[in-house]
Amino acid sequence: MTTQATKGHFISFEGIDGAGKSTHIDSLAQAFRAQGHVVTLTREPGGTPLAEQLRQMVLNDPMDAMTEALLVFAARRDHLQKVILPALARGEVLLCDRFTDATFAYQGAGRGFDWQTLLVLEEWVQGRAAQGESAGLGNPLQPNLTIWFDLPASVAAQRLSNARVPDRFESQPLAFFEQVAGGYAKRLAADPVRFTRVHADQTPEAVGRDVLQAVRDKGFLP
Ligand code: TYD
């Protein structure tokens, strides 16, 4: 069982590198603001000064999969405590470019780190104690909606080939991204109500329409 924020709207955006999340996140923020919502735009790993430092390490310094997993969860802990939970408590819309599903997809499915251990870390970092109760694991806090930009790895690779200098993930071979996509599919299967899968291999306009529709279907926008 998982917990979803009862105040505010917590929406995360996922997909392999090159899936094209960024412009759609910005447009969605505009759409929410136009309806009078206060929007916090943030990302993982990152979102606080400490978590942004950890991001630099994860994206650039050689390390094994367990170290990656521990660093992204450490960053997440700081981010939840200082940004996510306070924004949701104020009733804001929190748009997060990647969240824990990325850890399952990249460190779990991509790097081969143990899935069960990730579930334990998720309970530690997002469980009851992490949400402010005096003690306890279990019921990890999850976004109210996760939009998965699904795109064939070969198309994403083509898009990335014209991009800037690749980081440790972007420079991975095609097979890695196929595994990562498999990780997202597994997370979706485990929590189909939270997830909406958007086909990212369409025109930006069509993708934008699907993203907006996913948010409307949840009743977050008229
Ligand atoms: P990304 O979100 O694609 O940002 P940008 O658009 O600036 O490149 O990059 C973040 C990278 O971090 C991406 O390759 C996925 C990876 N990542 C993990 O490996 N584990 C995680 O838990 C998270 C949140 C991200």
Taking all residues of the chain, what is their mean pLDDT, rounded to a whole number? 94
4-8, 18-22, 41-45, 108-112: which has the minimum mean pLDDT? Answer: 4-8
Q: What is the pLDDT of residue 98?
A: 98
Q: What is the pLDDT of residue 39?
A: 98
Predicted TM-score of the model (pTM): 0.96
Q: What is the pLDDT of residue 161?
A: 83
Q: What are phi and psi of 171, to 5 degrees?
A: -85, 5
List the residue whose alpha carbon is closest to atom 1 of ligand 1. 17
- Token pair listed for 53: 């430092």
The answer, yes or no, to whether residue 90 has pLDDT greater than 80, is: yes
Among candidates 199, 178, 196, which has minimal Cα distance to 11? 196
pLDDT (mean) for 154-177? 89
Residues 150 and 181 sit within 8 Å (Cβ to Cβ): yes
pLDDT (mean) for 98-112? 98
Q: What is the pLDDT of residue 65?
A: 97
Strand runs labelled E in 127-217: 141-142, 145-150, 195-199
Residue of 13, 17, 96 to mutate, ligand 1, most atoms within 8 A of C-beta: 17
Alpha carbons 170 and 163: distance in angstroms, whole number: 10
Residues 81 and 65 sit within 8 Å (Cβ to Cβ): no
The answer, yes or no, to whether residue 138 has pLDDT greater than 80, is: no
How far does the centroid of ligand 1 lie from the alpha carbon of residue 194, in Å? 20
How far does the centroid of ligand 1 lie from the alpha carbon of residue 202, in Å? 22
Residues 68 and 36 sit within 8 Å (Cβ to Cβ): no
Q: What is the DSSP letter of 114?
A: -
The predicted-structure confidence for 1-35, as pLDDT tens digits, reads as follows: 566 766 899 999 999 998 989 999 999 999 999 99
- Token pair listed for 54: 């950890």
- Sorted by sequence, the CB contacts under 8 Å of residue 127 that are 6+ apart come out as 136, 137, 138, 139, 140, 141
Q: What is the DSSP letter of 37?
A: -
How far does the centroid of ligand 1 lie from the alpha carbon of residue 134, in Å? 32
pLDDT (mean) for 199-215? 97
Q: Find the residues whose C-beta lies inside 6 A of ligand 1.
A: 17, 44-45, 72, 97-98, 102-103, 106-107, 169
Among candidates 59, 26, 19, which has minimal Cα distance to 42? 26
Mapping DSSP to helix (H, G, I), strand (E, B) and coil, where does residue 60 land?
helix
The answer, yes or no, to whether residue 173 has pLDDT greater than 90, is: yes
Percent of the chain surpassing pLDDT 70: 94
Q: What is the pLDDT of residue 146?
A: 98
